[in-house]
Structure 1
Amino acid sequence: MHETITTPKGAAGAAGTPVAGHSWGQEFRALFQLGWPLIVAQLAQNALITTDVIMVGWLGGKYLAAAALANALFICIQLFGVGVTSAVAPMVAQAIGAGDLRQVRRTVRQGFWVAIVLVALLFPIAWNIGPIYTAIGQDPELVALAEIFVHYAIWLFVPAFMLIVARSFLSALGATRVILVITVLGAVLNFLADYALIFGNWGFPRLELAGAGIATTLVNLAMLAMMLGYIVTHRRYRRYHILARFFEPDWSRFFEIWRIGGPIGFMLLAEVGLFTCAALLQGWLGTAEVAAHSVALQLAAIAFMVPLGLGQATTVRVGIALGEANPEGIRKAGWAALLATLLFMSLTSAVLFAIPHQLVGLFLDPTNPENFRILTLAASYLAIVALFQLADGAQVAMVSALRGISDTRGPLIIGIVGYWGVGFPVAYLLGFHTELRGVGIWLGLAAGLAVVAIVLIIRFARRGHFGVLRNLALSSQPA
């Protein structure tokens, strides 16, 4: 059976409204209409991890440090897979903008194939987290606890990667509210499962870190089941038959996802890998430092969810404009996203500066004398987190806009140079060759993010001069 789904050009309205002819006001409205459910969904998604961190923290500082150590590498590996599969979003958006919806189903189907291959590639690496950490000199007791968590959480790879493909499909079609609802339900389920399995409530066994891993896996399976169920039963989306002829290959689409998504995955790996190495550096300083780092990083991640959700909407908006062969739409979608992101991150920076001790107190009992050093260190780290909020938001806005026009290799090079050529050396030097210690490590992270943000802004502003659009029959645009 051939795929006969057709739609008029301009079906981009499914993802807000068509880009062609937009004023700046219309573009801001379209961006927020598409983006606000994704922003809230990202906050809910982050709540899954935050819930784990908070509840594990209630077990004690040792367990919190072990969970931080586990997540440092585990999330790094997971995000590589998320980055590769996220290439489905701009590819589907471009197909919608061009009115070529035959490619929508093919892209989604091959996205599931890529997800399965990623599981096979990444599973052995994550499973051996214990030997990896032992080889690099981490505390044996923390390594043993971290290994327990990972060996139960690792099974989430299958649903998590496939979930990104399904989310990308719905996002490109503008169905972001259902993503929000399912993600919020997932966050609630994760809280209940954590409460039951970590502490042994409601008649369940007390499994501690193993319980956190089991809960996370079960919740991801439930979210995938809900999302696929919605897609195959809703009359608007079931006509795409995304699971039909599942085993039929489409190698051009399959390798196109790897071509676009591979650099996305490696850039996420470069960025998250920097933060992972920062956690390892903190581990060399002491258990209190790595626990404090975990708290500060979790608060930074919460703030980051807003530009990340808006960035997903930006990729779709820019992708639709590209499919419409609309240079002005690309320009407006990118710069509107940058301005909106900078405005929000200015607010989060102010909050982090104003109430660091109150925020840190959410993760550890401030009345417990054993937590005093962790709380003090975490509050000092938050001052640096507040400093790099604008840079962090700017880099995600610009990289999202560039992904919308399938420009992923250039940002990858920029990320590697900025994160590892600047960020890591500065973090190491300030952390181990000055009295700054953990604060110096965070200053290194801030330096790397700032360099990447500045260069990505320049690349988007001069996208025509860099040849990003040379094969797309689009004229050069003013910045």
Structure 2
Amino acid sequence: MIEQVTVTPIAPPPAVPRASTWAAELRATFTLAWPLVIAQLAQNALTTTDVIMTGWLGPEFLAAGTLASTFLMPFLVGGMGIVGAVAPLVAQARGARDIKAVRRVVRQGMWASIVIAALLVPILWQIKPIFAALGQNPDTTLMAEQYIQIGVWMLFPALAIIALRSLLSAFDSTRIILLITIGGVLFNALVNYALIFGNFGFPRLELRGSAVATVLTNLLMFGLMLTYVLRHRRFKRFNIMIRFWKPDWPRFREIFRIGTPIGLTVLSEVGLFTAAALLMGLLGTDEIAAHAVALQCASMAFMVPLGLGTAATVRVGVAYGRKDAEGVRKAGWTAFALGTGFMTLTCILFLTAGPLIVSWFLDPRSPANANALGLAATFLVVAGFFQIVDGAQVVAAHALRGLSDTKVPMIMAIIGYWFIGLPIAYVLGLVLDWRGVGIWLGLAAGLGIVAVVLVARFAMRKRLGLMAGLG
């Protein structure tokens, strides 16, 4: 249980209605989650647009863009995980009807965003010596470095967006998140098309153009979201920018105490996929390109349980804040059922329509793409098999975050991904020479282990003392 900072509530918001039945909880979760799910899909479409358009340049550009993205992504999602602690803390504050806590948590979340981004930029600039030490292709590494030199600046707005999204989600204002994200997707596609290929009179920047588009898109989305929070009557009362530079060290530390394990948990999973991409890089350009396509498809499907997981954090966190044990139970298992149910459908889709799906990313009419297309379709079959456990683990992890339970899930994730999944991927892929299929089987094994353990932990939450003080 988190340490509570005593604050006298001022003009407390109305109490959140309790979901008295499973049907009521299903409606509440779905109402909260569907804009988040579509927003997550739209957010993923930002990356998908980059993958598709760089793929149009050729496999070598797609390979370089993939290596750049897989290097950037662990740092980005790790930072997002830390700032993501704002979500359960604001949800708990809402459940306790503590308006001052809401303002202070969000403000310190913005502080955390600035600090994390400032620390990560100089690290990411070292991509060239790092990739050289890892034995990556020098030409591909040089192209990846060109992307990173520009793309790193998206960290500042991207992390700050998470703090604002956490506030909006905790107060059920998810439709505006959806609208802003869709606007970002359209803007990103337009700028990508202009700068990657030199259309509309702009210079042809290729991968650099994709990086510029990513930075501008995140700046636009952050500006729109901040404007909404500052001007909408429901959120103006929080005054999150008033005395912005005034420190609140207890809450700043609380964000890092709760958020650092979240960040490391997410980082361990994304890092597993980054390591897989680096292993693919040892196999060849076609393997990297095929991995990029299959991973993008799996990531798109993953956005649905991820959105449901965010809803689970909010619903569980609010119930926890108002000391409603039954509400915690209903919120967690409802999101779990929705998440695994959807992933069952995507599993069937990947198994039956893999070749058609991958043809959207690489031109099947080009003989140069034939090998990459075949590999991508094969990888997608393996991805289909781990869809269900992937959905289960992300919803369970988010439900536990609503209880501020982050340290033990972090340890479980690190063990499952790095001490089980990655060794299996290495042995099957490189030692036994199963190549890309072996690497993807290792990913599936890691996800499966973590899913079983986290779902069991949520099921045993009372016995493990995660519900202390609740009925």
Q: TM-score range by the shorter chain?
A: over 0.9
Return the letter of the residue paired with 2:175: R
Cα distance in 2 for partners of 1:238, 1:102 equals 13
Give the secondary structure class of the aligned counterpart of 1:240: coil
Name 1:340's counterpart in structure 2. 338
- Structure 2 residue 372 is the aligned partner of structure 1 residue 367: no
SS of the residue 2:466 aligns to: coil
Closer/same/farther in 2, CA of residues 365 and 251 from structure 1, 3 Å limit: same
| Displacement after TM superposition at 1:252 (Å) | 0.6
* Inter-partner Cα distance in structure 1 for 2:278 and 2:381: 21
Residue 128 of structure 1 corresponds to which residue in structure 2? 126
CA contact (8 A) 2:82 2:262 kept: yes
What aligned pairs does 1:41-440 form with structure 2 within 5 A after superposition? Answer: 41-440=39-438
SS state of the match for residue 237, structure 2? Answer: helix
Instruction: Output one character per residue of 1:6-28: Cα deviation in whole Å (capped at 9) or x when no partner.
Output: 22561x3xxxxx23x52000001
Unpaired segments of 5 or more residues in structure 1?
Answer: 13-17
Structure 2 distance, partners of 1:71, 1:5, is 44
- Residue equivalent to 1:449: 447
Question: Would you say the 8 A contact 2:8–2:98 is kept in 1?
Answer: no
Unaligned runs of 5+ in 2: 1-6
Aligned equivalents of 1:167, 1:367: Cα separation in 2: 42
Aligned residue pairs: how many? 465
Percent identity over paired residues: 54
Q: Deviations over 1:292-345 (max 9, x none)?
A: 101100000000000001111110000000011011110111111111111100
C-alpha distance in structure 2 between counterparts of 1:288 and 1:224, whole Å: 36
The runs of at least 4 consecutive aligned structure 1 residues that moved more than 4 Å come to none
Report the aligned-residue RMSD: 1.1
334-343 vs 30-39, which moves further: 334-343
Tell me how far apart the structure 1 counterparts of residues 38 and 279 of structure 2 sit (CA, whole Å). Answer: 32
**Other-structure match for 2:4:** none
CA contact (8 A) 1:5 1:240 kept: no
Q: Which moved more, 1:252-261 or 1:128-137?
A: 128-137
Deviation at 1:469, TM superposition (A): 2.7
What residue identity is the alignment partner of 2:358?
Answer: V
Q: CA deviation at 1:265?
A: 0.3
- Give TM-score, length-normalised by structure 2: 0.97
2:360 counterpart letter in structure 1? L
Match in the other structure for 2:36: 38
For 2:443, the aligned partner's letter is L
Q: Which amino acid aligns with 2:251?
A: R
1:452-478 Cα distance to aligned partner (Å, 9 max, x none): 0000011001112222233xx124xxx
Deviations 1:413-435 (A, max 9, x none): 11011101110011001001224
Give 1:71 deviation, angstroms: 0.8
Aligned pair in 2 of structure 1 residues 309, 102: CA closer, same or farther (>3 Å)? Answer: same
Query: Equivalent residue of 1:247, what SS?
Result: coil
* Contact residue 182 and residue 223 of structure 1 kept, 8 A: yes
Q: Does 1:474 align with 2:470?
A: yes
Determine the structure 1 residue equivalent to 2:12.
7
CA distances 1:149-192 after superposition (whole Å, capped 9, x unpaired): 11111110110000100110011011000000000000000000
The question of whether the paired residues in 1 share the 8 Å contact of 2:9 and 2:98 is answered with: no
Partners of 1:230 and 1:5 in 2: CA distance: 22
**Counterparts of 2:229 and 2:25 in 1: how far apart (Å)?**
28
Aligned-partner SS, 2:20? coil
Check 1:191–1:3 CA distance in 2 against 1; reply closer, same or farther (3 A cut): farther
Cα deviation code 1:252-279 (max 9, x no counterpart): 1000000000000001110000000000
Query: Structure 1 pair 260/203, CA: closer, same or farther in 2 (3 Å)?
Result: same
Match of 1:15 in 2: none
Letter in 2 for 1:77: F
Q: 2-side partners of 1:138 and 1:77: how far apart?
A: 19
Secondary structure of 1:474's match?
coil
Q: Is the 8 A contact 2:13 2:99 kept in 1?
A: no
The code of the aligned residue for 2:112 comes to: V
Change (3 A) 1:4 1:452: closer
- Write the distance in 1 (CA, Å) between the matches of 2:8 and 2:332: 33
CA distance 1:344–1:451, shift in 2 (3 Å): same
- In structure 1, give the amino acid aligned to 2:384: A
Task: Name the CA distance, whole Å, in 2 between partners of 1:209 and 1:447.
Answer: 34
- Is the CA contact (8 Å cut-off) linking 1:119 and 1:157 kept in structure 2? yes
Q: Could you give the per-residue CA deviations for residues 431-459 of structure 1, whole angstroms, max 9, x where no partner exists? A: 01224210000000000000000000110
- Does the CA contact (< 8 Å) of 2:9 and 2:97 recur in 1? no
1:124, distance to aligned residue in structure 2 (A): 1.1
TM-score, normalised to structure 1, is: 0.96
Q: Is the Cα–Cα contact under 8 Å of residues 9 and 98 in structure 1 kept in the other structure?
A: no
1:199-247 alpha-carbon deviations (Å, 9 max, x no partner): 0000000000000000000000000000011111111111111111001
Change (3 A) 1:324 1:3: closer
- Aligned residue for 2:282, secondary structure, equals helix
Paired with 1:199 and 1:230, the residues of 2 have a C-alpha distance of 34
